[in-house]
Chain A
Amino acid sequence: MTGRAKNGEIPAGLLAGLGGALRDAVVLTLVASALGLLVNLFHPRRIPYLAEKEYQTLVPCPVPGGEVTPCQPGDEMVRAADSLPVDARSPAQYASWHLEGAINIPFDYLEPVPQKLLDELNLRLNRRRARRLVVYGDGKNPDSGEQLGRELSGKGFRNVFFVSGGAPALREGTAAPRPEDARHE
Chain B
Amino acid sequence: MNRFINHPVHSWLGLAARWYLGGVFVFACLHKIAHPAEFALDVATYDMLPLSLVNLAALTLPWVELAAGLMLILGWRARGAALACAGMMVVFLVALASALHRGLDMSCGCFASQSVAEDDPISYLTVLRDSGWLLLAAYVALFDRRALGIDRWLEYRRRRPATA
A39–B36 Cα distance when bound, in Å, is 11
Is residue B24 contacting chain A, with contact meaning CB distance below 8 A?
A: no
Q: Is the interface on chain A under 10, 10 to 19, 20 to 34, or 35 or more residues?
A: 35 or more
Is residue B6 contacting chain A, with contact meaning CB distance below 8 A?
A: yes
Dominant SS at the B interface?
Answer: helix
Most buried by B among A11, A47, A61: A47
Check B41–A35 contact: CB distance below 8 A: no
Q: How many residue pairs, one in A and one in B, have C-beta atoms under 8 Å apart?
A: 127
Q: Interface readout for B140-154 with A: 1 if CB under 8 Å, 0 if not?
A: 011101000000000
Check A40–B36 contact: CB distance below 8 A: yes
A46–B35 Cα distance when bound, in Å, is 9
Among A20, A23, A46, contact of B36 (Cβ-Cβ < 8 Å): A46
Chain A nearest CB from B76 CB (Å) reads 9
Among B5, B64, B84, B121, contact of A13 (Cβ-Cβ < 8 Å): B5
Is residue A183 contacting chain B, with contact meaning CB distance below 8 A?
A: no
Query: Given A32-B60, A45-B37 in contact, is the A24-B52 Cβ separation under 8 Å?
Result: no
Q: Which of A48-56, A76-84, A128-136, A167-175 contacts B (4 or more CB under 8 A)?
A: A48-56
Among B36, B114, B121, B145, contact of A45 (Cβ-Cβ < 8 Å): B36
Closest to A27 in B: B80
Check B59–A61 contact: CB distance below 8 A: no
Q: Is the interface on chain B under 10, 10 to 19, 20 to 34, or 35 or more residues?
A: 35 or more
Check A18–B79 contact: CB distance below 8 A: yes
Check A20–B80 contact: CB distance below 8 A: yes
CB-defined contacts of B83 to chain A, threshold 8 Å: 18, 21-22, 24-25
Chain A nearest CB from B21 CB (Å) reads 14
A28–B141 Cα distance when bound, in Å, is 15
Is residue A43 contacting chain B, with contact meaning CB distance below 8 A?
A: yes
A55–B49 Cα distance when bound, in Å, is 12
Check A51–B51 contact: CB distance below 8 A: yes
Q: Which of B65-73, B128-136, B155-163 contacts A (4 or more CB under 8 A)?
A: B65-73
Chain B nearest CB from A9 CB (Å) reads 8
- Extra A-B contacts (6), CB below 8 Å, given A21-B80, A40-B59: A11-B2, A28-B81, A36-B61, A45-B35, A49-B55, A59-B104
B positions within 8 Å CB-CB of A? 1-2, 5-6, 33-37, 40-41, 44-45, 47, 51-52, 54-56, 58-64, 66-68, 71, 77, 79-84, 87, 104-106, 114, 118, 121, 141-143, 145
Counting from the closest, the 6 A-B pairs by CB-CB distance are A24-B80, A36-B63, A55-B44, A21-B79, A33-B60, A32-B67
